[in-house]
Amino acid sequence: MIYTGGTIGMRPGHRGLEPGHDFEQRARVQLDRLPAERRAALPRFHCLAYRDPIDSSNTRPEHWARIAHDVLAHQHEYDGFVILHGTDTLAWTAASLSWQLAGLNKPIIVSGAQQPLEVESGDALANLEQALRFAACPGLAEVAVAFGGRLLRGDAARKWDTHAHQGFASPNANWLGEWLDHAPVLHVTRSRPPEGVCRPMPWPLEAPPRVARLALWPGIDSDMMARLLTPELQGLVLEVWGSGNVPEDPALLALLSTATRRGCLIVAISQCPHGSLAMTSYATGHALRTAGVIDGGAMTPEAVFTRLSHLLSLGLSPQQCRHHLVP
């Protein structure tokens, strides 16, 4: 178990909730509250608690690399891993770990809580128990998110609710499993490791890849977009309308084309949380393809952003990145 920070380990402070320490001892005290048969079903575990717990709102690509580095450093010692993380950017970290740890062939379960561990009737103890049990499932071989009784693919999960115990969903992918009758149930006989290279990002990152995210809005023009599409930008997640529509603005499309020709990787996904792109259905979608924009299919913004960051961090050429980008 790697405790990185987040609400699950927080305690009340003068300014509100703040990162807490002594997490392993506190976690074991809470797990001891479970009924005897459920305690007996828990796997044995060790805990690595970061001395500088991360508020997930402050998470950066360097933190994704640090977590992957710690998992790989201990990959031969454990049958599975639990990563405890703040919920605000948990989906981003889970997606990044999906790419960084592809091929590890062990369960890596990312979880957290909407409320701190000691809150009565909160969700922390339940999520902790579920994460530990799913991490001991031999049929699981990928990064997954265990939260609110659901087991979701790490590269498909999104935070869906700011407060509800079932705070995460995977709108375009089936669940990997769920928690039924106080036991983990997998919906797959053997999960697939995501395609990729089992290798962490360089850590620490001295110069993280320059990747941005932009959602279109009515009235956007090429002058506005040009402020983002600088020559230094290496990748862009472009959230378009519907199944792949953009404004019929020749200057805007020319700007996108110029950026892709110089090597900027631009990936289009829909602003709709459900469904995927069909860029050949409309003329504007065809124009995006002509401009060199990559069809991101049904990938989430978190998945595309972290995929771009990971591939670029490996030093691959733009053409190689294009080949590996959409799994």
154-181, pLDDT tens digit by residue?
999 999 999 999 999 999 999 999 999 9
Could you tell me the pLDDT band of residue 293, with boundaries at 50, 70 and 90? very high
Q: Is 290 annotated as a binding residue?
A: no
- Domains parsed from the chain with CATH numbers: 2-186 (3.40.50.1170), 211-325 (3.40.50.40)
pLDDT of residue 280: 74
Could you tell me the pLDDT band of residue 278, with boundaries at 50, 70 and 90? confident
Q: Is 276 annotated as a binding residue?
A: no
Could you tell me the pLDDT band of residue 14, with boundaries at 50, 70 and 90? confident
Is the peptide bond prior to 209 cis by the omega test (within 30 degrees of 0)? no
| Greater model confidence, 119 or 326 | 119
The H or E element spanning position 124 is: helix 124-135
**pLDDT higher than threshold 90 for residue 305:** yes
If 0-12 CB within 10 Å is exposed, 13-18 middle and 19+ buried, where does residue 46 land?
A: exposed
Q: What are phi and psi of 110, to 5 degrees?
A: -100, 130
Q: What are phi and psi of 135, to 5 degrees?
A: -65, -15
- Sheet of 265-270, strand order: 211-215, 235-240, 265-270, 294-295
If 0-12 CB within 10 Å is exposed, 13-18 middle and 19+ buried, where does residue 213 land?
A: middle
Q: What are phi and psi of 68, to 5 degrees?
A: -60, -40
In this prediction, residues 34-49 reach a mean pLDDT of: 97
So which residues are the catalytic ones? Answer: 7, 87
Q: Is 56 annotated as a binding residue?
A: yes
**pLDDT higher than threshold 60 for residue 194:** no
pLDDT of residue 204: 60
Question: In this structure, is the dihedral angle defined by the CA atoms of residues 150, 105, 326 and 268, taken in order, positive or negative?
Answer: positive
Rounded to whole angstroms, the Cα distance separating 327 from 319 reads: 15
Could you tell me the pLDDT band of residue 286, with boundaries at 50, 70 and 90? confident
Rounded to whole angstroms, the Cα distance separating 271 from 84 reads: 29
